Chain A
Amino acid sequence: MRHLLSAKDLSRDDAILILDTAAQMAATQEREVRKLPTLRGKTVVNLFFEDSTRTRISFEAAAKRLSADVINFSAKGSSVSKGESLKDTALTLQAMGADAVVVRHWASGAASRLATSGWMHGSVLNAGDGTHQHPTQALLDAFTMRKHLVTDPLGNDLAGLTVAIVGDVLHSRVARSNVQLLHTLGATVVLVAPPTLVPIGIDPWPCDVVHTLDQALDAYDIDALMMLRVQRERMTGGGAAFFPSPEEYSRIYGLDGARMRRLPDHAIIMHPGPMNRGLEISAEAADSPRSVIVEQVANGVAVRMAALYLLLAGEEGAA
């Protein structure tokens, strides 16, 4: 593995290797000494063109626990505005000897551009590009599902599980990544969203689409229910809001206690964070014992350790 750009690039074997590696990484995180010498001498740059303290901290922790040197490069708000300096930034990182670049960018395709333009040689790890992909989020979600819902997780996929993803699919890199990865791992995926937030051209996606949460709860035995964050700007959008009001959204798509109790007993509740409590998810659901939202954060570190290990270990220069 040279880069991690899209969940779509991962075969079933690749995905299982990452999840299994993450499981071993997670085990090391329960020890007294959580730091491993594995990536000593490697330099990982966190290149963030968009604010995301949570994701940056997660990658930083992952790299540091593997003993890599970490450089945080926040390109937001500086001279970087219209993307003019993605190339110059890449050249700078190349000059600094970055072995891996973790990139978060507001533009779809920025990570792929960085990886394929020839501007730099290091591995590129996509930490979210526009509304395109966020592969480590999908991997940590899959890891969390496998841990809770698969009897013998190591070496196995998610065959037989049904996962519902609820919310703004149109603008969600989390949804795009998850649909592809979950499909690769054998799960059934149901997207739940108002038609205004479902992309035109979704037909070839390997998933079902329904338009109310109640419909999904009636029609599917849901093992994992993933609530997506609703961005404030989607509600107003200069007279082009995607739904009439937050209240109506909450009524049709929100997860409250009553809807939560309609899930099978073993089902888990997920959210990539940060949550809008009271909008897409009620406090009762978010804080219930079924909620694995906090655990997702911890699993994020293990999954990112695994990704960094698999990208950076191995022969130098080998593909």
Chain B
Amino acid sequence: MSRPIVIENASLYGDTTATILVEDGVITAVGATVDAPDDAVVVDATGLIALPGLVDIHTHLREPGREDAETIETGSRSAAIGGFTAVHAMANTTPVADTAGVVEQVWSRGKEIGLVDVYPVGAVTVGLDGTQLSEMGAMAHSKARVRIFSDDGKCVHDPVIMRRALEYAKTFDGVISQHAQDPRLTEGSQMHEGEVSAELGLAGWPAVAEESIIARDVLLAGHVGSRLNVCHLSTAGSVEIVRWAKSRGVDVTAEVMPHHLLLTDESVRGYNARFKVNPPLRTQADVDAVRAGLADGTIDVVATDHAPHPDEDKDCEWAAAAMGMIGLETAVGIVQKTMVDTGALTWRDVARVMSEAPARIGRVEDEHGRPIAVGEPAHLTLIDPADPWTVDPSASASRSNNSPFGGIELPGRAVATFLRGVPTHLSPRFEGAFA
């Protein structure tokens, strides 16, 4: 296999400085000094944070169907640059990932590319139609081993279908990842309903349309004793509901997206559709609440909701534009800016919310989100927390450039990513060592 790698003087989880030896895709030594073979590649990680490879449980790779927006290959590359070693690819492709055939195709294509482990998410209902359960068992038992099921982009709004899905997924320890959006309360909605929408004359997407579904779902999940994951939680009220549900022992987890940690509905004022996303950018009070929820563990995971769209779907009137933002490459920088540099999270917490917890939710915790310890698979991310950079969407490896963060300065970023000991992303400073 590849040459051994010595990662010298890395700050493990931001706590202790150590050197890591990687051989044959496995961590074989961790310590103040390690006995490195002569042919080892030496990576000077002084000042860098070493984390277990990041895991995203909410990525849109668009393939099959919208290869003009993203492919599994370009999305995988973008993920590796962002420090990810695993992504869960959402089911809203064309065709929809609602059969074993589609999920196996995505899974094997991901494996072929080999930049990140691609775990397909299966649709809850056939065609995301919300009416008939898809063959979840077939997807769970396929080579893709699907454990997360989601109609993301659409809400499983029928309470009976949602109940059945929650119950049925228990068969194979699956989780229903709900896009919480009451469809009737959000018909034609364009942005968060509040002071800005009132002034801009854009149809409102009220917080209650998210919160009412989450409230119903946590009650359902508690009633049937199933696992529920709340996708892209975005409001202060949602944080309250999840906190309450957890206190009652409901097996619920929740995601927050980097853009909901940083941006507010004020960004919509110029009608630039790069800020159009679902759920929409909320208010500063909501941003504060989701940050607090992430800090106190109410929110388990930061996921990206990386949603590529071609220029023509964004370069138009707000109401005609597609919803979604790319975010794989900026996620860790935004988490540092909003949570670490503000003192709300430590880097060890970041490992929890961006690697360990997501791996557990997707039931890939045997492979990802592992400790940085001898004998563990060498999925590693090195982060330079003191490498300020200005986001340039057109420089993204994604096939699309619909990032809302263009021009924003982030304090740090992933500078190297290793998947089973193989570098999948190296910043220019390390390229020489591996040449």
Direct A–B contact in the complex, CB atoms closer than 8 angstroms: yes
Q: A108 near B319 (CB under 8 angstroms)?
A: yes
B386 interfacial by beta-carbon distance below 8 Å = no
| Complex interface bits, B293-318 against A, C-beta within 8 A gives 1, otherwise 0 | 00000000000000000001001111
Q: A83 near B197 (CB under 8 angstroms)?
A: no
Nearest CB on B from A297, distance (A): 24
Q: B317 near A110 (CB under 8 angstroms)?
A: yes
| Complex interface bits, A19-34 against B, C-beta within 8 A gives 1, otherwise 0 | 0000000000000000
Which residues of chain A come closer than 8 Å to B320, judged between CB atoms? 82-84, 86, 107
A113-B271, A200-B206, A201-B193 known; A107+B198 contact, CB < 8 A: no
Q: A84 near B198 (CB under 8 angstroms)?
A: no
A74 interfacial by beta-carbon distance below 8 Å = no
Q: A201 near B201 (CB under 8 angstroms)?
A: no
Which residues of chain B come closer than 8 Å to A156, judged between CB atoms? none
B385 interfacial by beta-carbon distance below 8 Å = no
Q: A176 near B199 (CB under 8 angstroms)?
A: yes
Q: B315 near A107 (CB under 8 angstroms)?
A: no
A304 interfacial by beta-carbon distance below 8 Å = no
Which residues of chain A come closer than 8 Å to B202, judged between CB atoms? 108-109, 130-132
Considering the chains assembled together, what is the distance between the CA atoms of A117 and B318 in angstroms? 12
Which residues of chain B come closer than 8 Å to A133, judged between CB atoms? 201
B160 interfacial by beta-carbon distance below 8 Å = no
A250 interfacial by beta-carbon distance below 8 Å = no
A41 interfacial by beta-carbon distance below 8 Å = no
A121 interfacial by beta-carbon distance below 8 Å = no
Q: A112 near B198 (CB under 8 angstroms)?
A: no
Which residues of chain B come closer than 8 Å to A104, judged between CB atoms? none
Q: B317 near A199 (CB under 8 angstroms)?
A: no
Nearest CB on B from A196, distance (A): 13
A133-B201, A201-B193 known; A107+B206 contact, CB < 8 A: no
Chain A's closest residue to B202 (CB) is: A108
Chain B's closest residue to A202 (CB) is: B198
Chain A positions 82-129 with a Cβ under 8 Å from a chain B Cβ: 82-84, 86-87, 105-110, 112-113, 116-117, 129
Which residues of chain B come closer than 8 Å to A82, judged between CB atoms? 316, 320
Q: Which of A8, A83, A200 contacts B316 (CB 8 A)?
A: A83
Q: Using a Cβ–Cβ cut-off of 8 Å, how many residues does chain A contribute to the interface with B? A: 31
Chain B positions 180-234 with a Cβ under 8 Å from a chain A Cβ: 184, 187, 190, 193-204, 206
Considering the chains assembled together, what is the distance between the CA atoms of A200 and B199 in angstroms? 10
Q: B198 near A201 (CB under 8 angstroms)?
A: yes
Q: Which of B194, B197, B206, B315 has the most CB of A within 10 A?
A: B315
Q: Which of B190, B197, B201, B316 has the most CB of A within 10 A?
A: B201
Q: A199 near B197 (CB under 8 angstroms)?
A: yes
Nearest CB on A from B84, distance (A): 33
Which residues of chain B come closer than 8 Å to A116, judged between CB atoms? 270
Chain B positions 93-148 with a Cβ under 8 Å from a chain A Cβ: none
Which residues of chain B come closer than 8 Å to A107, judged between CB atoms? 317-320
Considering the chains assembled together, what is the distance between the CA atoms of A199 and B203 in angstroms? 9
Which residues of chain A come closer than 8 Å to B198, judged between CB atoms? 199-202, 205
Nearest CB on A from B311, distance (A): 9
Considering the chains assembled together, what is the distance between the CA atoms of A129 and B320 in angstroms? 13
A274 interfacial by beta-carbon distance below 8 Å = no
Q: A84 near B201 (CB under 8 angstroms)?
A: no
A316 interfacial by beta-carbon distance below 8 Å = no
Which residues of chain A come closer than 8 Å to B187, judged between CB atoms? 240
| Complex interface bits, B270-284 against A, C-beta within 8 A gives 1, otherwise 0 | 110000000000000
Which residues of chain A come closer than 8 Å to B193, judged between CB atoms? 200-201
A82-B320, A109-B271 known; A117+B315 contact, CB < 8 A: yes
Chain A's closest residue to B283 (CB) is: A201
Which residues of chain A come closer than 8 Å to B203, judged between CB atoms? 131
A113-B271, A200-B194 known; A108+B200 contact, CB < 8 A: yes
A203 interfacial by beta-carbon distance below 8 Å = yes
Nearest CB on A from B183, distance (A): 12
Chain A positions 182-222 with a Cβ under 8 Å from a chain B Cβ: 199-205
Which residues of chain A come closer than 8 Å to B190, judged between CB atoms? 108
Q: A112 near B270 (CB under 8 angstroms)?
A: yes
Q: A200 near B204 (CB under 8 angstroms)?
A: yes
Q: A87 near B201 (CB under 8 angstroms)?
A: no
Q: B196 near A201 (CB under 8 angstroms)?
A: yes
A173 interfacial by beta-carbon distance below 8 Å = yes
Chain B's closest residue to A204 (CB) is: B195
A84-B316, A84-B320 known; A130+B196 contact, CB < 8 A: no
Q: A132 near B195 (CB under 8 angstroms)?
A: no
Considering the chains assembled together, what is the distance between the CA atoms of A110 and B200 in angstroms? 11
Q: A112 near B201 (CB under 8 angstroms)?
A: no
A200-B198, A201-B195 known; A109+B318 contact, CB < 8 A: yes
Considering the chains assembled together, what is the distance between the CA atoms of A204 and B194 in angstroms? 11
Which residues of chain B come closer than 8 Å to A110, judged between CB atoms? 271, 317
Which residues of chain A come closer than 8 Å to B271, judged between CB atoms? 108-110, 112-113
Considering the chains assembled together, what is the distance between the CA atoms of A193 and B327 in angstroms? 42
Which residues of chain B come closer than 8 Å to A131, judged between CB atoms? 201-203
Considering the chains assembled together, what is the distance between the CA atoms of A117 and B198 in angstroms? 23
Considering the chains assembled together, what is the distance between the CA atoms of A116 and B187 in angstroms? 28
Q: B195 near A203 (CB under 8 angstroms)?
A: yes
Considering the chains assembled together, what is the distance between the CA atoms of A86 and B320 in angstroms? 10
Q: A130 near B195 (CB under 8 angstroms)?
A: no
Nearest CB on A from B182, distance (A): 13
Nearest CB on A from B123, distance (A): 25
Considering the chains assembled together, what is the distance between the CA atoms of A129 and B270 in angstroms? 14
Which residues of chain B come closer than 8 Å to A203, judged between CB atoms? 195
Known: A107-B318, A176-B199, A201-B195; 7 extra A-B contacts, CB below 8 A, are: A8-B199, A84-B316, A116-B270, A132-B200, A201-B196, A201-B204, A202-B198
Cβ-closest 10 pairs across A and B: A83-B320, A109-B271, A132-B201, A201-B198, A107-B317, A131-B201, A199-B198, A201-B195, A83-B317, A108-B201
Residues of chain A having any CB pair with chain B under 8 Å: 8, 82-84, 86-87, 105-110, 112-113, 116-117, 129-133, 173, 176, 199-205, 240
What are 30 residue pairs bridging A and B, where the CB atoms are less than 8 Å apart in the complex? A83-B316, A83-B320, A84-B312, A86-B316, A86-B317, A107-B317, A107-B318, A107-B319, A108-B190, A108-B201, A108-B318, A109-B202, A109-B318, A110-B317, A113-B317, A130-B319, A133-B201, A176-B199, A199-B204, A200-B194, A200-B198, A200-B204, A200-B206, A201-B194, A201-B196, A201-B198, A203-B195, A204-B195, A205-B198, A240-B184
Residues of chain B having any CB pair with chain A under 8 Å: 184, 187, 190, 193-204, 206, 270-271, 312, 315-321
